[in-house]
Amino acid sequence: MLRNREIILGVTGGIAVYKSIFLCRELTQQGANVHVVMTKNAMEFVTPLTFQTISGNTVTHDLFELFHASQIGHVALADRAHALVVAPATANILGKVANGLADDFLSTMIMATRVPVLFAPAMNTVMWDSPAVQRNLRTLAEAGHHFVEPDEGELACGVHGRGKMASPEEIVEALETLFCPKDLTGERILVTAGPTVEPIDPVRFVSNHSSGKMGYAMARAAARRGADVVLVSGPTCLPPPRRARIVPVKTADQMCEAVLAEAAAATVVIKAAAVCDWRPAASAPEKIKKARGAGLTLALEANPDILRELGQRKRDGQLLVGFAAETTDLVTHARAKLREKNLDLIVANDVTAPGAGFHADTNAVRILGADGSEVGVPLATKDRVADRVLDCVVKIRKRSAVSSQRSA
């Protein structure tokens, strides 16, 4: 998404500047050409040399710098960028831009550009909550500027509250959202992710190797493309996607209850979760004590097949997308699940293939359609795979829009 994009990174003077160094690195690693513009106060925290080394471009910080003999720097740079990110954005820069002030290179460039501007504010909680900052944020939003809101947490001043700059990953995600086609606007997409855990006693459980990475990538990609996303997630170690509503669950029973409730309003359901097929028939209320050297036989009983249930209840126009985790006969098994669970698409995943297992950041899949179609997605990041799955969803939507136009 960011490959070959020209990104201006405006850096203002706040302690969160150290995170902007990681942001700069993340952007360049994703293939963007980053031009850093620093305010005078930002240079009190870190030198231009740091950003210059990471971005590979000269850092700009002086209003009167000339790129070419005849061009004022800010106009040249502002004209050829694809987006401008201000991170950290202090209360001061928000106030200046909201009120039309342009008294340094960065504020002048923001005024002189027509490209999307994304602010990542960072400040003390009291400042963030102040009427002045909140008024300026509203003014900037009305002017069409974009934000990635600060997180809540321990601030540099020692106080706990809102004001911590979003993480570099969240800022990159917000930037990618700006460039993404919004072809899922109007869809309400329910995604499930992660494993379920089935308790044996208060300290032990039965589960599987799912990391949740594929489901979280699906939720992020759907939100980027304009969908309203609900993510029903089993326990994972992943940061929750900002633009999705999260419903945390633990057991298959809890997932079933949450999914059936949320599916009523969903136009698309994507079941990436690895639901445990069985659970201990009885979960002991106290820790089971071991008798020295003795084994333990667990009786397991079947969990509900949530996707099969959804397939039976499927409404007109609702799309069901399943995942098939297989170790043999990938396409045969996946096609059987597609048919038996009444799905529109199934993402067939050989979990033994190199780079395509549970904890990998990559995957390689075959996307099978109820119409007999088959799309191969070679090894790629889970984010990219998620986009290919959503491309198939969009394709089905377009096809049914055309056929309903024809029959009208």
- Give catalytic residues, as residue numbers: 157
Is residue 195 part of the contact set for ligand CTP (CB under 6 A)?
Answer: no
Which member of 166, 325, 367, 389 binds ligand CTP (CB under 6 A)?
325
Are residues 103 and 73 in contact, defined by beta-carbon separation less than 8 angstroms?
Answer: no
Is residue 306 part of the contact set for ligand CTP (CB under 6 A)?
Answer: yes
Is residue 45 part of the contact set for ligand CTP (CB under 6 A)?
Answer: no
Which residues lie below 8 Å from residue 245, measured CB to CB, with a gap of 6+?
229, 230, 231
Which member of 238, 277, 283, 331 binds ligand CTP (CB under 6 A)?
277
Are residues 370 and 345 in contact, defined by beta-carbon separation less than 8 angstroms?
Answer: yes
Is residue 307 part of the contact set for ligand CTP (CB under 6 A)?
Answer: yes
Is residue 258 part of the contact set for ligand CTP (CB under 6 A)?
Answer: no
- In angstroms, the CA 63 to CA 37 distance is 10
Burial class (CB in 10 A: 0-12, 13-18, 19+), 386: buried
Name the one range near ligand CTP by CB under 6 A: 59-67, 162-170, 267-275, 383-391: 267-275
Encoded tokens for 259: 């999914």
- In angstroms, the CA 28 to CA 176 distance is 14
Query: Rounded to the nearest 10 degrees, what angle do helices 17-29 and 48-55 cross at?
Result: 10
Question: Which is nearer to ligand CTP, 123 or 273 (by Cβ)?
Answer: 273
The DSSP code sequence of 210-230 is --SHHHHHHHHHHHHTT-EEE
Site string for ligand CTP, 72-111 (x = CB under 6 A): ----------------------------------------
Is residue 190 part of the contact set for ligand CTP (CB under 6 A)?
Answer: no
Is residue 322 part of the contact set for ligand CTP (CB under 6 A)?
Answer: yes
Is residue 271 part of the contact set for ligand CTP (CB under 6 A)?
Answer: yes
Is residue 305 part of the contact set for ligand CTP (CB under 6 A)?
Answer: yes
Which member of 224, 243, 279, 337 binds ligand CTP (CB under 6 A)?
337
Question: Which is nearer to ligand CTP, 172 or 334 (by Cβ)?
Answer: 334
Q: In 10 A of CB 136, how many CB atoms?
A: 20
* Per-position b or e across 86-107, b if 16+ CB within 10 A of its CB: bbbbbbbbbbbbbeeebebbbb
List residues near ligand CTP by CB under 6 A.
252, 271, 273, 275, 277, 303, 305-307, 322-325, 337
